[in-house]
Amino acid sequence: MEVVTRVPFNALVGAGIALAAAIAWLAQPERTDVIGGATLGTAVAGLFAAVSVAVFKKIRAEGGDKAGTRMVSAFVGLMLARMVGYLTFLGAAVGLKAGDPLSVCFGLLGGTLVFQAVEIMHLRKMV
């Protein structure tokens, strides 16, 4: 687990997005809408996680007596923003037909599970 936190978070996000694209391509190489949808969903999940980690790093760098409390408050606010953002993204992806809707959902779900687990590892190391 400690090895994961030594790698910059944005590099892990990029690797996760590339892995999602590769898995989608291996599953259905002829369906570019599936590949694009899975990659797009994973990228959105990674973007939200990268923003969260950046916010936590900024709070930690500022320090202070209440840094831990501010991190918890930020975590709650970012979770709410993530939920609203995901719902907005899913509505736009389906409405604009940006890839296969099911693959967008799977990419978002898979990306969220993986990136949030890694995000929590980074957060624990910061506290």
pLDDT in tens, 66-116: 877 888 888 889 999 999 999 999 989 888 888 888 999 999 999 999 999
Please state, rounded to an integer, the average pLDDT across all residues of the chain.
89
What pTM was computed for the model? 0.87
CA distance 122 to 9: 8
| Predicted pLDDT of residue 68 | 79
- Give the HSE-up count for residue 41: Cα atoms under 13 Å, Cβ half-sphere: 31
Give the mean pLDDT of 32-60.
92
The range of the structural domain enclosing residue 95 comes to 2-126
| Predicted pLDDT of residue 50 | 93
| Cα dihedral 92, 85, 118, 125 in deg (nearest 10) | 160
Total structural domains within the chain:
1
| Predicted pLDDT of residue 45 | 95
